[in-house]
Amino acid sequence: MPTGNPLLVEIQERIKAAGAISFCEFMALALYTPQWGYYNRPQIQIGQRGDFITASSLTRDFAELLTEAFVQMWHALERPQRFTLLEMGAGEGQFADVVLNYSQATYPDFFAALEYQIQEQSPSLRERQRQRLGPWGDRLCWRGSDTPAAPITGCIFSNEVVDAFPVHRLQWQGGNWQEIYVSLNSEGALQEVLRPLRDDRIHEYFATVGIDPQRQGYSDGYRTEVNLNLIPWLKDLSQRLERGFVLTIDYGYPAQQYYHPARCEGTLQCYYQHRYHNNPYCFVGEQDITAHVDVTALTRYGEKFGLETLYVTRQSLFLMALGLGDRLLAQQQGNGHLLQALNRHQSLHQLIDPLGLGGFYVVLQGKQATLELPPLEAGDQALPFTGMGNSP
């Protein structure tokens, strides 16, 4: 039995005590065990020097363009004296830093009203954020998930957070779902076992997103994931929001595409040193494990909890509507340092690459609030969202 990895040893001990643990529990332990879980290790890094890049870590243009949206939200709410921007899962804190800097320089009235809050589950990343963002003083504060929060007027924002929630993994077998559990083989290594599905919340989930698994024609061995953790998360966000918006950006699919019979391996992906694969049982605690987000679940559960779906679109179109095209043009006409100009040009293109970050979904929900965005490109008929997709 390997002994070099304390997290693996801890997981093996848990499994020995229980016989087997659900994949969801395994993923939660691999990502969030204090000190050793992937996101809670002191050495966690997001961006070029870590295992994966996010839009926030790629270029400041992302946060600057999103600031344009936050300013529009502030106007849509009739310029309240305090506009709270609560960022969930702020990673290295770059996004917050750019939003505060750019607002201060470009929109002083908005900046005067802006109160930035961060909710971050990882103590290591919270510490990193404190170092970067300390100079902002009382402009910014951290909230715990259990802190009773004052009702928010403003926006609750997240980028690539929901895909990091632990998911249940299911396998279709003999006309029914089985749940994937993790146990130990005779040599003590992690192995998957199937157990009958006992969690009624999963049946309710499929009913909510409009999928009847019995009519999907799944073959034996078909695998997929269900993110039940997004349900209490959305409920909590909605309860905290008095008036304003929830803006969620992540990779995913509408339910019809997510649970399409052809997507027979599911969407689980692991990231290790800028390479990705689908084996969650290696590099335990040293690699990120993610699953795509079911965009229909975000909107349907949001509606259940009082969040109106305002827009569902792709990041490329959203950022173009916020002025990314103008930035590209200005950048091409500029005469700055050649290498910097090339890098920025490449980053701007990465933000809108339809096969990469540009294909991410942007979900905007509102509570007693609505927002007129500049017209998005023709063909972006996900607005208003129907929840129907074409193919995987």
Ligand X SMILES: C[S@@+](CC[C@H](N)C(=O)[O-])C[C@H]1O[C@@H](n2cnc3c(N)ncnc32)[C@H](O)[C@@H]1O
Binding-site ranges for ligand X (CB under 6 A): 39, 46, 54, 56-57, 88-91, 119-122, 125, 159-161, 164
Helix 295-304 vs helix 200-208: crossing angle, to nearest 10: 90
Smallest gap from Cβ 52 to ligand X, in A, equals 7
Whether the Cβ atoms of residue 106 and residue 63 lie closer than 8 Å to each other: no
Distance between CA atoms of 136 and 90, rounded to whole angstroms? 15
364 φ/ψ angles, rounded to the nearest 5 degrees? -115, 120
What is the smallest separation between the CB atom of 48 and ligand X, expressed in angstroms? Answer: 12
Nearer to ligand X, 53 or 320 (CB): 53
CA dist 148 to 151, 236, 277, 318, 353, Å?
9, 11, 40, 33, 40
Q: Which is nearer to ligand X, 89 or 244 (CB)?
A: 89
Judged by beta carbon, residue 20 or residue 163, the one nearer ligand X is 163
Output the six-digit token pair for 316: 């490329």
**Angle at CA of residue 73, ends 244 and 98, nearest 5°:** 110
The residue among 2 and 123 lying less far from ligand X, judged by its C-beta, is 123
Residue 101 CB, shortest distance to ligand X, in Å, is: 17
Could you give the 3-state DSSP secondary structure of residue 374? coil
Sheet architecture: strand order including 288-290: 275-277, 269-272, 288-290
Beta strands in the chain (DSSP E): 21-22, 83-88, 114-119, 140-142, 152-159, 168-173, 176-184, 190-196, 223-226, 241-250, 252-253, 269-272, 275-277, 288-290, 293-294, 308-314, 361-367
The token pair that represents 42 in the structure block: 């002191």
107 vs 142, which CB is nearer to ligand X? 142
Please state, in angstroms and rounded to a whole number, the distance separating the CA atoms of residues 160 and 44.
16
Closest CA to 99 of 69, 77, 133, 67: 67
User: CB of residue 119 vs ligand X: minimum separation in angstroms?
Assistant: 5
Distance spanning both ends of the chain, measured CA to CA: 39
- With CB atoms as reference, the residue minimizing the distance to ligand X is 89
Q: Nearest distance from residue 32's CB to ligand X, in Å?
A: 7
- The nearer residue to ligand X, 58 or 211, going by C-beta atoms, is 58
Q: How far is the CB of 93 from ligand X (least distance, A)?
A: 9
Q: Collapse the DSSP code of 116 into the 3-class scheme (helix H, G, I; strand E, B; otherwise coil) and give the result.
A: strand
Pick the closer one to ligand X by CB: 99 or 211: 99
Q: Toward ligand X, which CB reaches closer, 89 or 254?
A: 89
Nearest approach in angstroms of CB 376 to ligand X is: 22
The CA distance from 368 to 283, in Å, is 45
CB nearer ligand X, residue 123 or residue 221: 123
Q: C-beta of 46: minimal distance to ligand X in Å?
A: 5
